[in-house]
Amino acid sequence: MRLVAITLLTLLATACNSEGGNQTTADNTCSAKVAWSGGDHGSSEMRPGGDCIGCHKSRGEGPNYVVAGTIYGDIADHDNCEGKSAITVQITGADGKVTSVTSNAAGNFSLSNSKGSVKFPYTVQLLYNGKKYGAMATKVSDGSCNTCHTATGETEGPAGRIIAFEE
C-alpha cells in the first residue's frame, strides 16, 4: 500500500514538472502542422492562440501577465495551433519604456507582472535576428493580444493572427 502511494506521488510530481513537453498532436489544419493537445495543463506552451490573461484571471490559476499572446505562421491559424518561435516582441509603453519578450516553441510569449510592467496604451514592433518583422502602429490598452488577434479577425480590428513577415 505504502509503495503504491509513493509510486503515485512520483508519477504526479513528474507530470507537473514537464514544462509543456510534447503535449501536442499532428494537425494539418495548422500552418505549423501541429497543435496543443494538453488542455488546461499549465505550461508556457499551453493553449496557443487563447486568451491567456482572461482565462488565468477567471480561473484564479496560472501566472498574472501584463501582456501575453502568440505569434503565428498564418493569419487564420485556429486556437491551439502552434505558432512561430524566436520572434522578439518589442513593446513600447505610453511612457516610452521598451520591453522585449520572445516567442517560445509554441509561438507563445508573455511578461508576468512580477517581471515587469507596461504603461498602456502601447505599440508593438516584431523583430527576428535583429530585423524588423511587422509592427502595430495602433495604440492599444489590452495586454491580451489574442483577444483582438483571433483566427477570424475583427470587423473594426486586426485582420487576424499576429504574423511575422520581413518588412
Q: Summarize as ranges the residues that interact with ligand HEC (CB under 6 A).
A: 40-44, 46-48, 50-52, 55-56, 59, 61-63, 67-70, 89, 91, 108, 110, 124, 126, 134-138, 140, 142, 145, 147-149, 157-158, 162-163
Closest CA to 65 of 146, 6, 166, 131: 146
Closest to ligand HEC by CB, 3 vs 60, is 60
Of 114, 123, 68, 134, which is closest to residue 94 (Cα–Cα)? 123
Structural contact between residues 109 and 100, judged by C-beta atoms closer than 8 angstroms: no
Q: Which three cell numbers stand for residue 23?
A: 503535449
Decide whether 35 or 124 has the Cβ nearer to ligand HEC: 124
CB of 33 to ligand HEC, least distance (A): 19
Specify the residue, 30 or 50, whose C-beta has the smaller distance to ligand HEC. Answer: 50
Cβ proximity to ligand HEC, 51 vs 77, nearer residue: 51
Q: What's the min distance (Å) between Cβ of 3 and ligand HEC?
A: 27
Residues whose CB falls within 8 Å of the CB of residue 10, separated by 6 or more in sequence, listed in order? none
Beta-carbon count within 10 A of 62 CB: 17
Q: Which residues pair with 26 in a beta bridge?
A: 34
- Residue closest to ligand HEC when measured from CB atoms: 42
What is the nearest approach in angstroms of ligand HEC to the Cβ of residue 64? 10
Considering the complex, state which of residue 30 and residue 148 has its C-beta at the smaller distance from ligand HEC.
148
Q: Residue 104's CB: how many other CB atoms inside 10 A?
A: 21
